[in-house]
């Protein structure tokens, strides 16, 4: 069992930045591929970014490429999402997720590919 706790959300003006963090419990963090998803009001959950177990592979949805960066620190059991050049359409609740089912270099892009989810952190971008 893995518990995930997100932090770092908030209110920011368009063009601003936030760094989201997701702290995981347990001693096997390096065994999990990690992902970030988001859900805007009235919309479904959307894949944002994912990172493989070792951090050597990453994947992004096209709308955030070049603006967002996913990274992980296995020594700190933490995955990060650096969000730059934020736009109002990035407003959503951001969730981190973990899976032990992914192979070493896999970056799952769909919700069913993940086993554990955090409670979410709100990101609001004003225009």
User: Which residues have C-beta within 8 Å of that of residue 61, sequence separation ≥ 6?
Assistant: 46, 47, 48, 49, 109
Mean pLDDT of 78-83: 98
Query: What confidence category does residue 103 fall into, taking pLDDT thresholds of 50, 70 and 90?
Result: confident
Question: Alpha carbon 93 to chain centroid distance?
Answer: 11
Query: Tokens representing 42?
Result: 């009235």
Check whether 82 has a pLDDT greater than 80.
Answer: yes
Please choose, from the candidates 67, 83, 66, the residue with its C-alpha nearest in 3D space to the C-alpha of residue 20. Answer: 83
What per-residue confidence (pLDDT) applies to 10?
A: 98
Query: What confidence category does residue 99 fall into, taking pLDDT thresholds of 50, 70 and 90?
Result: very high
Q: How many residues does the chain have?
A: 127
Identify any residues that bridge with 81 across adjacent strands, giving them in sequence order: 20, 70
């Amino acid at each position: 069992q893995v518990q995930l706790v997100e932090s770092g959300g908030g209110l920011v003006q368009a063009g601003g930045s936030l760094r989201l963090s997701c702290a995981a419990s347990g001693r096997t963090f390096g065994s999990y591929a990690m992902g970030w998803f988001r859900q805007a009001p009235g919309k479904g959950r959307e894949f944002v970014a994912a990172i493989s177990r070792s951090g050597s592979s990453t994947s992004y949805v096209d709308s955030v490429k070049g603006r967002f960066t996913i990274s992980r620190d296995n020594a700190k059991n933490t995955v990060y999402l650096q969000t730059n050049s934020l736009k109002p359409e990035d407003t959503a609740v951001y969730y981190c997720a973990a899976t032990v089912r992914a192979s070493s270099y896999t970056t799952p892009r769909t919700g069913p590919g993940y086993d554990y989810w955090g409670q979410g952190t709100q990101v609001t971008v004003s225009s």
